Structure 1
């Protein structure tokens, strides 16, 4: 959970520290990060394909197969990092045409340009992280993200506000801190794994003759639909940022505060989802489908308990949490109302994230991609637009639409998992 949360904490820390500069600066980082997070979602979703394949090879005791999957996966995530950086550079002009306040866009551009370059080290790190997660060795990625966030905080203090010999760079300083911390993550991960005996066989350098088209295809076949799943959800939340921006900088800043807090708890659920992917992948390798269902539903119950606590916390602390980002009373008032809705959708957001992880462990990704598209864009986005714009409910209407989308996703994915696992058990019983 901490390893998954680490990526988001870098952006969250940026928002908290930049928020002290003013609502316009906070809205600028919101705009830059919202577009950047689309690229992260595609890249991370693609890298998630490595984990169930490694977990399956680990349960089979096939280290050679695991090594080839890891190294092919690392090559693909590096290529994805370059591709996502290129995409972010190419789509930069779109920031001028999203009906956002002009002063926000002017501040967002330099922040966005620097953070976009951090996509490359971030994706290389993801290759290492998903590999170690698949081996159930999750602590190393956790240590790397903790180190990265410490570096980011120190650099933010120095570069945002100007301390000692460092100039006051404000939001550009936050972007530089993010870039350096993500580079440090990769070096930390590589050094740690290089000195652990358990990883020696996996880190043996791959030769060109060992590159196999079928392994690349298998990772891409799993990774592409998973990237789409992430894109559909993050795209919806990005659309909510852009819709909120049409109501002004204060509305956008409020939306960003609530979104950052909700996304933080979502990344906790993603961490439980990774655990579900690993354990379901293990049982898939062993073909023990009864135990697979028991493990999966245990994960669903675990995330329900965790997200229920977050739900209560959001509702009880709705007037306190926004103060972490700003002291502007208008922004705090709007953000407080949004946190009530965020409290309601904690349960469905967490459950759908973990069910997706379990389905990924089963290597079932195509149908879930269709289901998430229906939930987010056929059901959810029209509700966001209708309530927020047509009925003029503003950010609150947008967030009711998000609640509708996440609840629909959770129900559809649960039905899919239940159907698929029951079918696997019946098929095995029919052949034994």
Structure 2
């Protein structure tokens, strides 16, 4: 066709669509912070429920503290696997939002809740096997029985809590993260009061109990969180004309059950399985390091556990930025804007590493001042300080690794990150731990060196994957 035909005449070629300009970095920074900070508080609040129960049991006695620690240990591994699997909810909801199709979010939420319930219910029979498992691992009968009772009491609240978490993910994706944060903070305030009254016998109103009561009160509160979150989205749907089409999705729940969630369900299972396994790979590797520490000496195990407490607290910021990254990247992917996908990804990773740098510097420069806050045994303070110094570097790479996993969740990359996690932790971190502890006798500091090697290699591999994945996004213009 001749090039001189005017564009407004019949038969003229359609003008090329103007490329979508990328969102300015300043907006990426602002939106990432707005999303991440409440998620940090929300996820930290979820862990604080367990921490409060542990502290309450510890004030009752050593056996109660040991029982809650042992009883919850396998449950927490399962919790991390389920959390990883259900993170697909964020990707699906954020992509629908970015595509300008919020009417799809209701079906995503209903499918996610059904999957959350099923996963939670599957953990219940395992809890009833806990006592036999603990006995098989050589634990004392009294401790095994108490820990088994803790596991059973705890597990009744798991289905409700998993349903709350996926509902909170959708609320956060819709730009209302403060709502989920307020709910988890209210639950923590109630849990502190209930533990003080029912577990520790405050004011003498109730007799002092122990670990089983602590987990029982939290299980009830988990179901309360689910009801509160679901009530919120229902009220939101009725007040705003149901833009997510949640009410039709609920009326269609029978079909959802028959088809196992339909297309959304298939995506959740296809992507969620490797995401959950990726969380499990890291968790299992860390549990292996715990057992390795126990083979060396109780003091090494104690120093390692105290150090990991500091690392875990620092990692809560990474959880928030990982959640924000998955949402922002999913939005950009839904809008078919590759430049925004890359900017959202690296903005979140930069924030994750930058905020971890603050806590890392504190651990690296003030280990002898921080050690007494985590342990009181004078013989433990020296080894603990050495481990904390190494942990100061660990938290930086650990945070960037965690946010990188969030980025890859946002673009729907599932199996490759799992393979990379396996390589980093099982072919690097575990052998380095064996060398540093059992051969070089570096104690708890050696375990932190092993973790550092694992998270550093993992971040490098994941960063290379992000570069490659964001360069070749199917259906997205570069």
TM-score by shorter chain over 0.5: yes
Q: What is the rounded CA distance, in whole Å, between the counterparts of 2:401 and 2:190 in structure 1? A: 33
Residue 23 of structure 2 aligns with which residue? none
CA apart distance, 1:107: 5.2
User: Over alpha carbons, which structure has the higher Rg?
Assistant: 2
Which one is further off, 222-231 or 78-87?
78-87
1:19/1:325 contact within 8 Å kept = no
CA apart distance, 1:155: 2.1
CA apart distance, 1:320: 5.0
Q: What is the rounded CA distance, in whole Å, between the counterparts of 2:50 and 2:373 in structure 1? A: 14
Give 1:193's match in structure 2, choosing from 228, 233, 238. 233
2:71/2:130 contact within 8 Å kept = no
1:4/1:268 contact within 8 Å kept = no
Residue 454 of structure 2 aligns with which residue? 405
Q: What is the rounded CA distance, in whole Å, between the counterparts of 2:126 and 2:65 in structure 1? A: 24
Q: What is the rounded CA distance, in whole Å, between the counterparts of 2:379 and 2:154 in structure 1? A: 29
When residues 386 and 170 of structure 1 are mapped into structure 2, their CA distance, relative to the original with a 3 A threshold, is farther
2:180 aligned with 1:141:
yes
When residues 202 and 427 of structure 1 are mapped into structure 2, their CA distance, relative to the original with a 3 A threshold, is closer
Residue 61 of structure 1 aligns with which residue? 100
The unaligned stretches of length 5 or more in structure 1 are none
Give 1:209's match in structure 2, choosing from 255, 268, 276. 255
Give 2:91's match in structure 1, choosing from 52, 59, 62. 52
When residues 370 and 427 of structure 1 are mapped into structure 2, their CA distance, relative to the original with a 3 A threshold, is same
CA apart distance, 1:142: 0.9
Cα RMSD (Å) of the superposition?
2.8
CA apart distance, 1:179: 2.0
Which one is further off, 27-36 or 317-326?
317-326
Q: What is the rounded CA distance, in whole Å, between the counterparts of 2:292 and 2:138 in structure 1? A: 9
Q: What is the rounded CA distance, in whole Å, between the counterparts of 1:60 and 1:343 in structure 2? A: 41
2:195 aligned with 1:156:
yes
Q: What is the rounded CA distance, in whole Å, between the counterparts of 2:241 and 2:437 in structure 1? A: 51
2:214 aligned with 1:174:
yes
2:171 aligned with 1:127:
no
1:151/1:177 contact within 8 Å kept = no
2:304/2:447 contact within 8 Å kept = no
2:348 aligned with 1:299:
yes
SS in 2 for 1:368: helix
When residues 12 and 322 of structure 1 are mapped into structure 2, their CA distance, relative to the original with a 3 A threshold, is farther
SS in 2 for 1:195: helix
1:265/1:307 contact within 8 Å kept = yes
Q: What is the rounded CA distance, in whole Å, between the counterparts of 2:405 and 2:445 in structure 1? A: 27
Which one is further off, 409-418 or 10-19?
10-19
Residue 445 of structure 2 aligns with which residue? 396
Residue 311 of structure 1 aligns with which residue? 360
2:139 aligned with 1:95:
no
Q: What is the rounded CA distance, in whole Å, between the counterparts of 1:355 and 1:80 in structure 2? A: 25
Q: What is the rounded CA distance, in whole Å, between the counterparts of 1:326 and 1:17 in structure 2? A: 18
Give 1:378's match in structure 2, choosing from 409, 417, 427. 427
When residues 213 and 411 of structure 1 are mapped into structure 2, their CA distance, relative to the original with a 3 A threshold, is same
Kindly tell me the number of residue pairs found equivalent between the two proteins.
429
Q: What is the rounded CA distance, in whole Å, between the counterparts of 1:338 and 1:199 in structure 2? A: 55
Q: What is the rounded CA distance, in whole Å, between the counterparts of 2:156 and 2:350 in structure 1? A: 39
When residues 199 and 365 of structure 1 are mapped into structure 2, their CA distance, relative to the original with a 3 A threshold, is farther
Residue 42 of structure 1 aligns with which residue? 81
Q: What is the rounded CA distance, in whole Å, between the counterparts of 1:184 and 1:48 in structure 2? A: 22
1:101/1:249 contact within 8 Å kept = no
Matches within 5 A, 1:251-400: 251-321=300-370, 323=372, 327-400=376-449
2:296/2:438 contact within 8 Å kept = no
Residue 286 of structure 2 aligns with which residue? 237
CA apart distance, 1:6: 1.7
When residues 263 and 213 of structure 1 are mapped into structure 2, their CA distance, relative to the original with a 3 A threshold, is same
SS in 1 for 2:397: helix
When residues 124 and 426 of structure 1 are mapped into structure 2, their CA distance, relative to the original with a 3 A threshold, is closer
Q: Deviations over 1:159-218 (max 9, x none)?
A: 342223222123334323432332232222223333323594454124223555322111
When residues 325 and 308 of structure 1 are mapped into structure 2, their CA distance, relative to the original with a 3 A threshold, is closer
The unaligned stretches of length 5 or more in structure 2 are 1-39
Residue 477 of structure 2 aligns with which residue? 428
When residues 199 and 134 of structure 1 are mapped into structure 2, their CA distance, relative to the original with a 3 A threshold, is farther
Which one is further off, 337-346 or 13-22?
13-22
1:23/1:250 contact within 8 Å kept = no
Which one is further off, 177-186 or 220-229?
177-186
1:314/1:339 contact within 8 Å kept = yes
